[in-house]
C-alpha cells in the first residue's frame, strides 16, 4: 500500500453538526422519531409514502414477504401504475408543465433545455416509434447511448410502453455489449453514431454493428445520428430523428402491475457472467422517489446535478427516476469532469446555479489533485447539498469537498447497490456527520453487522453487512437466474447479504471497509475478478490468471493481474500490451489491469480454487489469514 493511501485513510474524529437553517428547511427534522415509526409500523410508513404518488389502482396489501425461493417480496400487492405517469403526466397536469426537466450540457458547451411537457411529448413519440416496430409489453430493449437526452427519453419510452430497458454503459466493448444483448434477448438496440469523450468521438454504432452480428433476437437498431455528414444506415437500422418526426405525440401509459419489470441492469458478481438485476414499477418508484426527496432535501426550486452515467444504477435512480418523480430540474452533462479543463463541473455549477451535487469519491479525488484554484475561480454559492456514492470516501477527500464548496454544506455519503435500487444507509440533512461514514440507515431499513453465522457483532468490530427486512426498491430477481437471487437471502440466516464488510461505531454510524467477495471497485465502477480473468485467459498465450483489487490513492482500487503463460511463451512487454488490448476488447477500457505480473505459480486450494485472498495479502504485505486449505 502506498504511503499516500495509508495517509488518506487516517481517522478523523471531528463531528459536524447540521446548521439550524439546514434543519429548518429539511423535510425530515427529527430522524430518530421518523426512524422509530418506520420500524414499528413499516407497512403504514411505506403506504403513506406511496400515497404521495398516483396509482391507477390502489394496492390490497403494502408488503407480502415470503422466502425468496417461494417468490420473495411483493410490494404494493395488486396495485396498478406506470412509473412514467408519476415522472411526467403528474407534473404536466400542474404548473410544472413548463418547468425545465433536463438541462443538458455538451462537452463543447452546447446546451439543450427540455421542459416536462416537451419531455412527455418526446417520450410518447419514442414509445410510438418502438410500438410501430413491434415492441410490446415485457420485450427487452438495449440502450447503448452516451449521456444525451435521448438516453433518458428512450428509457422512459420503454417504461411507458411496458417494455423492459437494459441500459449498457457506453464504455463497454462490443463483446461485453453482445453478452448483455444475448442474455436479455433484446428485440431492439438504441444507439448513436458517436459519443463524445475528451473531444474525441467514440464510434458507438460501429461497436453495435459488431455486437449484433451474432444476436439473432435483434430485429431493429435505432440510430441517433449526431454527426455531419450522416453515417450510412444498414437495412436493419432506423433513423431516430426521422421516425420520431413521424410518430404521434400521444401515447397512453401501459397499465402495469406494481410488480411488473421496469428495467434490467447488468452488474458484476463473483462469477464470470454479469447478472441482470430486475427492478419493478411499483416498489422502485416509491423507493427512489422518497430517498431523492429526503436525502437531498429536494424542493421544487432546486437544480440537481448527479454526475453519474445512466449506464449504472446511480444514473437510473438519481438522474432519471428519483428526480423526475419529484418534478425536479436535472443537469445532465456529457463528457469528463476535467475536459476541456479541470473547471468543467465547477463552471456548470456556477452557470446554472446548481444546488445539489452528487458524485463519486474518485471524481472528488481527481478534482482535488488539480488543486483549490479551480473551484476558487467559480461562484459556487448556490450549492446547498453535496453527495457521494459508489465507494468509501476517505476523510481527506470528504474534508476537501466540503472546504472548496464553502465549508458549510452537508455531505450525504450514500451507501447502496444496483441490487438495492435505492439509497439504504446515509445521513439525512438533519443528522450529524462524521467524515468517512455513511451514517445511519434510511427510515424503514434495518441493517446489521454480523459474523458468518449471523450473530450481531459489537461496536467497531468489522463484519458482514446484512439487511434484516425487505425494502420497496429491492431487486425483484436476477433475470433467468432465480437461484442466484435466492443466494442473497440464503447465505446468512435469511437476511439480505450485501457483500460488503463494514463496522458500526458506538453511535451506530456505519463505516465501510470494502467488499467481502471478489468484486472490485475501480473508480467506483463495479467489476468482478472472474470476468477480468476470463478476458485475460481468452488471450492465446495465457494459461491461467488471477486478479485482485489493489488500493489506489486516486481510483480507490486498481486491478492487478497475475498471469501464467502457456508453455513456449516468455514474458515480454509485447505480451503485456497484448493482454491489456485483449481485456479492452472483451470488456472495455475500465477493466484494463493497472499492473500485470507474470508468474509461474498461483495459490490454490486443494480442490483447485484460486485463493485471491493469499495473493492480495502478499501484495499488501499483511498476514494471509487461514491458509489450511492451501495446496502443498
For ligand PRX, the binding residues (CB under 6 A) are 267, 312-314, 389-392, 413-418, 438, 498-500, 512, 515, 521, 526
526: which 3 cell numbers? 463495479
225: which 3 cell numbers? 445520428
What is the CA angle 23-27-33, rounded to 5? 80
Nearer to ligand PRX, 82 or 292 (CB): 292
Q: How far is the CB of 227 from ligand PRX (least distance, A)?
A: 31
Q: How far is the CB of 511 from ligand PRX (least distance, A)?
A: 9
CA distance 319 to 312: 10
Nearer to ligand PRX, 312 or 485 (CB): 312
Nearer to ligand PRX, 305 or 416 (CB): 416
The 3-state DSSP composition of the chain as helix, strand, coil percent (nearest 5) reads 35, 25, 40
Q: Residue 622: CA atoms inside 13 Å, Cβ hemisphere, count? A: 8
418: which 3 cell numbers? 444496483
Tell whether omega for the bond before 340 is within 30 degrees of 0, i.e. cis.
yes
Nearer to ligand PRX, 115 or 360 (CB): 360
Helical pair 31-40 and 42-50, crossing angle rounded to 10 deg? 110
Helix (H, G, I), strand (E, B) or coil at 556: strand
Q: Residue 308: CA atoms inside 13 Å, Cβ hemisphere, count? A: 25
Q: Does the CA dihedral 523-462-36-23 come out positive or negative?
A: negative
What is the three-state SS of 188-204? EEEEECCEEECCEEECH
Pairing status of strand 385-389 against strand 411-414:
parallel
Q: How far is the CB of 448 from ligand PRX (least distance, A)?
A: 16
Nearer to ligand PRX, 150 or 391 (CB): 391
Nearer to ligand PRX, 12 or 541 (CB): 12
Q: How far is the CB of 90 from ligand PRX (least distance, A)?
A: 26
How far from the centroid of its chain's Cα atoms is residue 157's Cα? Answer: 20
Nearer to ligand PRX, 186 or 314 (CB): 314
Q: How far is the CB of 364 from ligand PRX (least distance, A)?
A: 12
Nearer to ligand PRX, 215 or 298 (CB): 298
Q: How far is the CB of 467 from ligand PRX (least distance, A)?
A: 12
Q: Are 492 and 473 in contact (CB under 8 A)?
A: no
Nearer to ligand PRX, 240 or 312 (CB): 312
How far from the centroid of its chain's Cα atoms is residue 338's Cα? Answer: 21
Q: Are 222 and 190 in contact (CB under 8 A)?
A: yes
Q: How far is the CB of 317 from ligand PRX (least distance, A)?
A: 8
Q: For the sheet containing 496-504, what is the strand order?
A: 447-450, 463-467, 496-504, 510-515
Tell whether omega for the bond before 29 is within 30 degrees of 0, i.e. cis.
no
What is the CA angle 570-560-436, rounded to 5? 170
Q: How far is the CB of 422 from ligand PRX (least distance, A)?
A: 9
Q: Are 416 and 389 in contact (CB under 8 A)?
A: yes
Q: How far is the CB of 492 from ligand PRX (least distance, A)?
A: 15
Nearer to ligand PRX, 308 or 348 (CB): 308
Q: How far is the CB of 388 from ligand PRX (least distance, A)?
A: 6
Amino acid at each position: 500500500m502506498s504511503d499516500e493511501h495509508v495517509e488518506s485513510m487516517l481517522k478523523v474524529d471531528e463531528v459536524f453538526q447540521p446548521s439550524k437553517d439546514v434543519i429548518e428547511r429539511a423535510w425530515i427534522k427529527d430522524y430518530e422519531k421518523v426512524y422509530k415509526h418506520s420500524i414499528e409500523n413499516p407497512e403504514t410508513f411505506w403506504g403513506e409514502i406511496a400515497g404521495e404518488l398516483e396509482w391507477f389502482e390502489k394496492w390490497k396489501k403494502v408488503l407480502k414477504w415470503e422466502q425468496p425461493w417461494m417468490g420473495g417480496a411483493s410490494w404494493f400487492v395488486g396495485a396498478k401504475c406506470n412509473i412514467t405517469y408519476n415522472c411526467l403526466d403528474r407534473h404536466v397536469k400542474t404548473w410544472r408543465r413548463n418547468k425545465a426537466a433536463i438541462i443538458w450540457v455538451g462537452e463543447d458547451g452546447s446546451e439543450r433545455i427540455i421542459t416536462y411537457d416537451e419531455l412527455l411529448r418526446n417520450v410518447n413519440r419514442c414509445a410510438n416509434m418502438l410500438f410501430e416496430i413491434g415492441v410490446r409489453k415485457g420485450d427487452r430493449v438495449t440502450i447503448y447511448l452516451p449521456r444525451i437526452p435521448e438516453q433518458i427519453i428512450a428509457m422512459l419510452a420503454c417504461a411507458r410502453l411496458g417494455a423492459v430497458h437494459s441500459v449498457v454503459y457506453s464504455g463497454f466493448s462490443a463483446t461485453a455489449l453482445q453478452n448483455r444483448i444475448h442474455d436479455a434477448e433484446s428485440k431492439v438496440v438504441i444507439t448513436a453514431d458517436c459519443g463524445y469523450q475528451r473531444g474525441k468521438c467514440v464510434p458507438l454504432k460501429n461497436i453495435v454493428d459488431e455486437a449484433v452480428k451474432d444476436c439473432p433476437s435483434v430485429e431493429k437498431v435505432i440510430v441517433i445520428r449526431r454527426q455531419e455528414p450522416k453515417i450510412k444506415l444498414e437495412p436493419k437500422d432506423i433513423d431516430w430523428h426521422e421516425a420520431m418526426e413521424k410518430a404521434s405525440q400521444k401515447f397512453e401509459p401501459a397499465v402495469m402491475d406494481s410488480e411488473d419489470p421496469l428495467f434490467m441492469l447488468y452488474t458484476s458478481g463473483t462469477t464470470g457472467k454479469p447478472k441482470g438485476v430486475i427492478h419493478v414499477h411499483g416498489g422502485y418508484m416509491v423507493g427512489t422517489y422518497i430517498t431523492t426527496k429526503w436525502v437531498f432535501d429536494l424542493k421544487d426550486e432546486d437544480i440537481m446535478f448527479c454526475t453519474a452515467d445512466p449506464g449504472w444504477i446511480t444514473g437510473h435512480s438519481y438522474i432519471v427516476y428519483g428526480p423526475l418523480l419529484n418534478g425536479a430540474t436535472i443537469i445532465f452533462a456529457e463528457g469528463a469532469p476535467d475536459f476541456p479543463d479541470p473547471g468543467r463541473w465547477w463552471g456548470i455549477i456556477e452557470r446554472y446555479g446548481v444546488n445539489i451535487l452528487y458524485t463519486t469519491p474518485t471524481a472528488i479525488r481527481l478534482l482535488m489533485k488539480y488543486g483549490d484554484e479551480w473551484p476558487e475561480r467559480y461562484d459556487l454559492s448556490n450549492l446547498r447539498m453535496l453527495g457521494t456514492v459508489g465507494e468509501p470516501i476517505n476523510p481527506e477527500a470528504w474534508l476537501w469537498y466540503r472546504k472548496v464548496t464553502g465549508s458549510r454544506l452537508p455531505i450525504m455519503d450514500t451507501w447502496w447497490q444496483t441490487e438495492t435500487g435505492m439509497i439504504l444507509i446515509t445521513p439525512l440533512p438533519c443528522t450529524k456527520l462524521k467524515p468517512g461514514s455513511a451514517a445511519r440507515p434510511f427510515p424503514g431499513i434495518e441493517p446489521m453487522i454480523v459474523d458468518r453465522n449471523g450473530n450481531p457483532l459489537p461496536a467497531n468490530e468489522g463484519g458482514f453487512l446484512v439487511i434484516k427486512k425487505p425494502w420497496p426498491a429491492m431487486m425483484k430477481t436476477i433475470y433467468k437466474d432465480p437461484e442466484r437471487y435466492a443466494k442473497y437471502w440464503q447465505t446468512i440466516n435469511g437476511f439480505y447479504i450485501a457483500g460488503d464488510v463494514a463496522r458500526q461505531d458506538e453511535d451506530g454510524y456505519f463505516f465501510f471497509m470494502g467488499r467481502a467477495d471478489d468484486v472490485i471497485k475501480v473508480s467506483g465502477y463495479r467489476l468482478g475478478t472472474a470476468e477480468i480473468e476470463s478476458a485475460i485467459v481468452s488471450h492465446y498465450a495465457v494459461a491461467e490468471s488471477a486478479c485482485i483489487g489493489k488500493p489506489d490513492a486516486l481510483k480507490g482500487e486498481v486491478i492487478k493481474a497475475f498471469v501464467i503463460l502457456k508453455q513456449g511463451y516468455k514474458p515480454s512487454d509485447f505480451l503485456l500490451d497484448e493482454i491489456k488490448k485483449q481485456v479492452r476488447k472483451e470488456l472495455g477500457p475500465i477493466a484494463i489491469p493497472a499492473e500485470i505480473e507474470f508468474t509461474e505459480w498461483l495459490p490454490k486450494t486443494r480442490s483447485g480454487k484460486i485463493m485471491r485472498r493469499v495473493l492480495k495479502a502478499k501484495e499488501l504485505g499483511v498476514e494471509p489469514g487461514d491458509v489450511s486449505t492451501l495446496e502443498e
